[in-house]
Amino acid sequence: MDSNSPIRGKFITLEGLEGVGKTTNRTFVESLLNEHNIEFVGTREPGGTELGESLRNLVLHAAGQMQNETELLLMAASRVEHVGQVIEPALASGRWVLCDRFLDASIAYQGAGRQLGVSRVAELHKMMGVTIKPDLTLLLDMPVEAGLARMAARGKPDRIESEALEFFERARAAYLQRAADDPDRVVIIDASRSVEAVQASVKSALMPFVNAA
Q: Of 24 and 177, which CB lies nearer to ligand Z5A in the complex structure?
A: 24
Nearest approach, Cβ of 69 to ligand Z5A (angstroms)?
13
DSSP conformation class of 110: I
How many CB atoms sit inside 10 A of residue 146's CB?
13
Nearest approach, Cβ of 37 to ligand Z5A (angstroms)?
25
Nearest approach, Cβ of 114 to ligand Z5A (angstroms)?
8
Task: Please check whether residue 42 is in contact with residue 26, taking contact to mean a CB–CB distance below 8 angstroms.
Answer: yes
Q: Which amino acid would we find at residue 200?
A: A
Q: Of 10 and 44, which CB lies nearer to ligand Z5A in the complex structure?
A: 44
Question: What CA–CA distance (Å, rounded) separates 70 from 162?
Answer: 18
Nearest approach, Cβ of 75 to ligand Z5A (angstroms)?
4
Question: What CA–CA distance (Å, rounded) separates 68 from 3?
Answer: 33
How many CB atoms sit inside 10 A of residue 172's CB?
22
Q: Of 120 and 150, which CB lies nearer to ligand Z5A in the complex structure?
A: 150
Q: Of 8 and 114, which CB lies nearer to ligand Z5A in the complex structure?
A: 114
Q: 3-state class of 134 per DSSP?
A: coil
Residue numbers at the binding site for ligand Z5A (CB under 6 A) = 18-24, 45-46, 60, 75, 100-101, 105-106, 109-110, 150-151, 160-161, 194-195, 198
Nearest approach, Cβ of 77 to ligand Z5A (angstroms)?
11
Measuring CA to CA, which residue among 142, 139, 141, 138 is closest to residue 206? 138
Q: Of 8 and 121, which CB lies nearer to ligand Z5A in the complex structure?
A: 121
